[in-house]
């Protein structure tokens, strides 16, 4: 994985606002590497200080093994999380991760 990709993933995720939810694939595409969703997960797992909880699977499911923490953080930002899946963002719109 290139350092340019890592840097771009960090930029994309750092720019997410409270209550904004995107998929790993969305981040990969915005970082210039469509299809590199797993790479995004690797970057998030190795980075501190990023709002990792705002990134979910394409179907809205939360990060495996981090569901409780991620759900708590998302709910604090007004995101509707139900049964381990993002349902709606704080503004009532469907999450971009579910499109």
How far is residue 65's CA from residue 14's CA, in Å, rounded to a whole number? 22
Q: Residue 84 is part of a domain; what is its CATH number? A: 1.10.10.10
Residue 99 lies in a domain: no
The CB density around residue 90, as the number of other CB atoms within 10 Å, is 16
The range of the structural domain enclosing residue 30 comes to 3-94
- Give the model's pLDDT for residue 2: 85
Which residue stretches of the chain have pLDDT < 70? 1, 88-99
Q: In the chain, where do the E strands start and end?
A: 22-23, 55-56, 80-82, 85-88
Task: Report the helix count and the strand count for the chain, using DSSP H and E.
Answer: 4, 4
How far is residue 97's CA from residue 27's CA, in Å, rounded to a whole number? 10
Residue 77 lies in a domain: yes
Instruction: Please state the domain count of the chain.
Output: 1
- Give the model's pLDDT for residue 37: 96
- Give the model's pLDDT for residue 87: 85
């Amino acid at each position: 994985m290139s350092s340019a990709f890592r840097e771009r993933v960090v930029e994309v995720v750092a720019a997410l606002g409270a209550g904004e939810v995107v998929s790993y694939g969305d981040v990969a595409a915005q970082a210039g590497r469509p299809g590199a969703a797993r790479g995004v997960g690797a970057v998030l797992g190795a980075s501190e200080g990023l709002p990792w909880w705002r990134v979910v699977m394409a179907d809205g499911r939360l990060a495996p093994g981090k569901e409780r923490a991620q759900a708590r953080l998302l709910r604090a930002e007004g995101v509707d999380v139900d049964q381990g899946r993002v349902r709606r963002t704080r503004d009532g719109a469907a999450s971009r991760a579910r499109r």
